[in-house]
Amino acid sequence: MAAAVSACGAGHEVTVFEASRTLGGRARGLEAALPDGTPITIDNGQHILIGAYTEALRVMRLVGLEPDTTLLRRPLALPFPDGTGLQTPGYATYWPAPLDAIAAIATARGWSWSERLSLIRASLGWQWVGFQCAPDLSVAQLCANMAPRVLHELIEPLCVSALNTAATQASAQVFLRVLKDALFGIRGGSHLLLPRTDLSALFPNAAETWMAQHGGQVHRGQRVRRLQWQAPHWLLEGQAFDRVVWASSASNATLALVECAQAAPDSIASKLRAWSAQTAALHFEAIATVYAWAPQARLPHPMLALHARAEAPAQFVFDRGQLGGPTGLLAFVVSASTGTREELQSAVLAQAAVQLAALGLGDLHPVITVVEKHATFACTPGLLRPAQAIAPGLLAAGDYVDGPYPATLEGAVRSGWAAGRLP
């Protein structure tokens, strides 16, 4: 939808084909019901933004949304249920970067001064070298000299939430890029922006309305089953277009282009096969969101960090009742998840019973567990991502396409916007 808005704004006549009845792809709303039968709208995965996601926020405003209304802005904070962890003090909430983040580090509850200083020294050191490192370095290697508590309570949760890849396998260079923009970029760049509405309403539905006002068309529930090259046009289901932006998942794009290459002339087919081969080489990580409900459940903050390990896999829990949803609905996020849906749900509910026991939430009842098996690409060191340009008049858009960001909403929006403006 970002690609469509971009192209429409550039004066093109734009048509969007969406296979689903719901807009948003891997960031969309879902209909569900509480254990008492109350219908609710949830998401196919809990997502957040940060203040540094300037393009996503800009495009939201462009289509008529007000981020201050649709998003709950919170200063950088990763508190645990017992009150320990990183929290920005109120007096530093609107300090310029990186002073706000340094204040959060310096006042982190439960950390010793040596632990706090290990993070401050590392952060300033990264800034000194321009947030650059060897391309083959992992996040764990980058932070090897950091205090173990800081590594386990901050770096590892940040890494897995931003890159959806374990710190031992994640790209240090991409991680540093995210930290640079969040901690050392614009004022408020480190703020957490928590959606107050479902993800379809957060941007794509408004984008559809905006497009209709600017001459664009969106066809929901219409899957494109065939892409063909017929010079000088690309054909989608037999309809000719001067330019096509393929904005599906990486696996779907690969299958479609390999099939298209079979009937294309050699000059086009070779480009389609080369792009598809590089895309097919990507590895993917899953994300699970376990929704659970207790009638009077309320967290002390809209978002809490959890102590994650193999038998307790959730890294974060969100109070959807404080984010515009029904009271008592909690969303537990398991990034880089493994195991079956049933195994994850059982492990997370057991984890919640232990780690949230002191909060007196009552018995949590499972609502639904959503597992996106190919949620993001594995953001590993030295990864070569496919280019945006595939062949003449054919472009790719998606968070997996070559760019500075990992698989995030910001990465998806940046990729889409660029695709809509390329010749």
Q: What is the pLDDT averaged over residues 89-98?
A: 77
Torsional class of 305: left (φ above 0), alpha (ψ -120 to 50), beta (otherwise):
beta
Which residues lie across from 79 on neighbouring strands?
85
CB-CB contact of 196 with 43 (8 Å): no
Query: 172-183 and 113-128 are packed helices; what angle lies between their axes, rounded to 10 degrees?
Result: 100
CATH class, 284-377 region = alpha beta
pLDDT for 69: 95
Q: Kindly state the tokens that stand for 383.
A: 């990864």
Instruction: Look up residue 321 and give its DSSP letter.
Output: G
Angle formed at CA 292 by CA 291 and CA 297, multiple of 5 degrees: 130
Q: List the structure tokens of 390.
A: 């595939």
Distance from chain centroid for Cα 22: 18
Give the Å distances, CA to CA, from 380 to 56, 218, 284, 285, 312.
24, 35, 10, 11, 24
Helical ranges in 80-153 per DSSP H: 99-106, 113-128, 139-142, 148-150
Which residue's entry shows tokens 């949230």?
356
Cβ distance 245 to 7 under 8 Å? yes
pLDDT tens digit string along 258-302?
Answer: 999 999 999 999 999 999 999 999 999 999 999 999 998 999 999
- Strand-by-strand arrangement of the 233-236 sheet: 227-230, 233-236, 239-241
- What gap in Å lies between CA 23 and CA 341, rounded to an integer? 24
Which DSSP string do the residues of 144-168 spell out, in sequence order? TTS-HHHIIIIIHHHHHHHHSS-TT
Pairing of strands 29-33, 39-43: antiparallel
Using CA atoms, how far apart are residues 152 and 132, in angstroms rounded to an integer?
23
Strands 365-377 and 284-293: antiparallel
pLDDT tens-digit profile of 149-193? 999 888 998 899 899 999 999 999 999 999 888 888 888 888 999
pLDDT at 388 (0 to 100) = 96
Helices (H) and strands (E) in the chain, counts: 15, 20
Smallest CA-to-CA distance from 60 within 245, 209, 204 is with 204
Helix (H) or strand (E) holding 304, with range, is strand 303-305
| 130, two tokens | 């321009």
DSSP conformation class of 386? P
| Per-residue pLDDT, 218 | 96
Question: Residue 200 — φ and ψ, nearest 5°?
Answer: -65, -40
Computed over every residue of the chain, the mean pLDDT equals 93
The answer to whether 334 touches 290, Cβ cutoff 8 Å, is: yes
Q: What is the pLDDT of residues 52-88, one digit of tens each?
A: 999 999 999 999 999 999 999 998 888 999 999 888 8
Beta-ladder partners of 284: 377
Compute the distance between CA of residue 53 and CA of residue 51 in angstroms, rounded to an integer: 5
Q: What per-residue confidence (pLDDT) applies to 141?
A: 96
378-389 tens-digit pLDDT: 999 999 999 999
Prior bond to 232 cis, omega within 30?
Answer: yes
User: Distance between CA 246 and CA 244 in Å, rounded?
Assistant: 6
Instruction: Compute the CA torsion angle 178, 180, 182, 188 (nearest 10 deg).
Output: -160
Does the structure show a pLDDT above 80 at 90? no
How much is the pLDDT for 4? Answer: 97
d(CA 364, CA 35): 10
Please report, rounded to a whole number, the percentage of residues in the chain having pLDDT higher than 70.
Answer: 100
Please classify residue 239 by burial: count the beta carbons closer than 10 Å to its beta carbon, then call 0-12 exposed, 13-18 middle and 19+ buried. Answer: exposed
Give every CB contact of residue 177 below 8 A, 6+ residues apart in sequence.
131, 404, 405
Share of the chain above pLDDT 90, in %: 81
Query: Given this model, what pLDDT does residue 237 score?
Result: 84
* pLDDT per position as a tens digit, 231-258: 999 999 889 999 999 999 999 999 999 9
Using CA atoms, how far apart are residues 63 and 35, in angstroms rounded to an integer? 36
Amino acid identity at 314: A
What residue segments make up the domains of the chain, in order of their start? 1-22+48-70+195-222+396-423, 76-190, 284-377
Of 36-40, 104-108, 177-181, 416-420, the one with minimum mean pLDDT is: 104-108
pLDDT of residue 224: 94
